[in-house]
Chains A and B, each alone.
Chain A
Amino acid sequence: MAEKQRYGLLIDYEYCTGCFTCQVACQQEYGWPAGMGGMRVNEIVQNLPKGKAYLTYFPFPTELCILCRPRTKKGLQPACVQHCMAECMRFGPVEELAKEMAQKPRMVLWAPK
């Protein structure tokens, strides 16, 4: 049963400020060298009509994200989720996160593992 349950990360990117905490939290937790890690934060600047633009940051879990199994086993939040400065990341079963996702725009649900 535990095998079947998929977990994921729900990210409210409206509030992601691009603080890079998640990226470094993961590197610290697993000792990844610079340039590697379970999370990469990207900056996206989208041009809008009338000379306007919108600045977004977008955390992307990489091949190296193990969804913090060693932490969650112990009842801890994933390192990135706990430290996220904007408190815009949630960890949980994908079904539950999908329900939450339906409540609000500008959300992304990752299920890296």
Chain B
Amino acid sequence: MYWNSKDISVFVEQKEFVDTAVIPLLLIDGQASKLKQNASSAEFLMALTAFIENQFKGRVILMPPVSYTTKTNRQQLGQEWDEMLKEAGFKHLFFVSSDMGWVNEESALNVIYTPSIPLENMDRKLRQSVLDDQLRQIIPVFAKRWASTT
């Protein structure tokens, strides 16, 4: 489900079943030399998280992407979102990003890092299968974390 009024009312009524937020973390880098690659990786992250949403529609709410710049303090950003969403009533949070910066970050956030794959030149079929492959690697991460707390 998505962060929109219709889906949020399901969340409010069915908290016992809808208990997970997926948050795309999106680094926007406007440097001329990085623009293209950066946009491509944004495209990838949006497509991938939409796939995740589709797979786990009934339990997950996909947040609008959290965008930040190279100057942003990742740790603080992550912490704010973590706190806020837990207060909102989400039991599980999955942050997904193609920004390497999160990997080295010593934070309590469990960011799922997925290297960005340029989708723009792929035809539909290839795109689908690339995203499917990525999704298949992510499904167990979800399953595991859900299983560990229920």
Asked if A and B are interacting partners, one says no
| B residues neighboring A (CB under 8 Å) | none
Q: Interface of A with B (CB < 8 Å)?
A: none
